[in-house]
Amino acid sequence: MIRSAVKISLPIMFGFVPLGIAFGLLFQDLGYPWYFASLMGIIVYAGAAQFMAIGFLSAGLGVVEIAMSTFFLNSRHMFYGLSFLESFGNWNIRKLYLIFGMTDETYALLTTIQVPDGFIKERYYLYITLFAQFYWVLGCTIGAILADVLTFNTDGMEFAATALFVVLLIEQWIIVRRLLPFIVGFISSIIALVFFINHMLLTAIMISIASIVFMRLIKGSQS
């Protein structure tokens, strides 16, 4: 099961390690000891928020503002949990960790893969989530330690995250085979881009969920 989880989580590695390195490099500019970059990867574990934190820290922003900004930046994750209410099982330490590890990439992967026969879903998810975070912490650490000596040109590596989401989008199509959610997602993205470009992700997700709920209710009242 572990081998299978490593194999299926490798696409996340290609996204997380370079992104983590980029974070570590930027974090090192602040002048803190390198292991704080690892610590952030371990206990905060949020890509976009950690990049935002670099700006906060250099500006010396207040704690309340930081708490609020982090909350709003990550609030799209509230909607991710909806897909896992059933499959995470009972409340225990494993479930608490699975919830903690719900990043964009983990969410995208877990909602797309099929759990192989004979595997316990919760345990399989747990391994994948653990490996994903390991890749992220590894990247943050490498970046922070090698800030001065790294010579490998990583320009363009950020495309790995785009490629991961494109691959998972194709896989979603193979699973779902209904055009509607894709169209709703696309139109919501465009609306959010036009009107709320600074909060595009969150608004797009809220618009799309509100739209399908609305469509479902109309359909329900007709039949």
Residues 70-129 touching other proteins, rule: CB under 8 A, are: 70-71, 74-75, 77-86, 88, 95, 99-100, 102, 104, 107-108, 111-112
Task: Candidates 4, 146, 189, 196: give the one binding other proteins (CB under 8 A).
Answer: 189
Cα gap 25→148, rounded to integer Å: 8
State how far the alpha carbon of 150 is from the alpha carbons of 25, 40, 47, 130, 147, in Å: 9, 21, 21, 27, 6
Structure tokens at 183: 């169209």
State how far the alpha carbon of 145 is from the alpha carbons of 24, 31, 37, 149, 151, in Å: 8, 12, 9, 9, 13
Using the contact rule CB under 8 A, the part of the chain among 120-128, 132-140, 143-151, 164-172 near other proteins is 164-172
Cα gap 133→106, rounded to integer Å: 9
Structure tokens at 37: 């970059």
Complex with other proteins: residue 56 or 119, whichever CB lies closer:
56
Using the contact rule CB under 8 A, the part of the chain among 8-16, 115-123, 126-134, 137-145 near other proteins is 8-16
Is residue 212 part of the contact set for other proteins (CB under 8 A)? Answer: yes
Is residue 165 part of the contact set for other proteins (CB under 8 A)? Answer: yes
Tell me the residue type at 183. I
DSSP state of 95: H
Complex with other proteins: residue 86 or 148, whichever CB lies closer:
86
- How many chain residues are in contact with other proteins, going by CB under 8 A? 89
Using the contact rule CB under 8 A, the part of the chain among 54-62, 116-124, 126-134, 137-145 near other proteins is 54-62
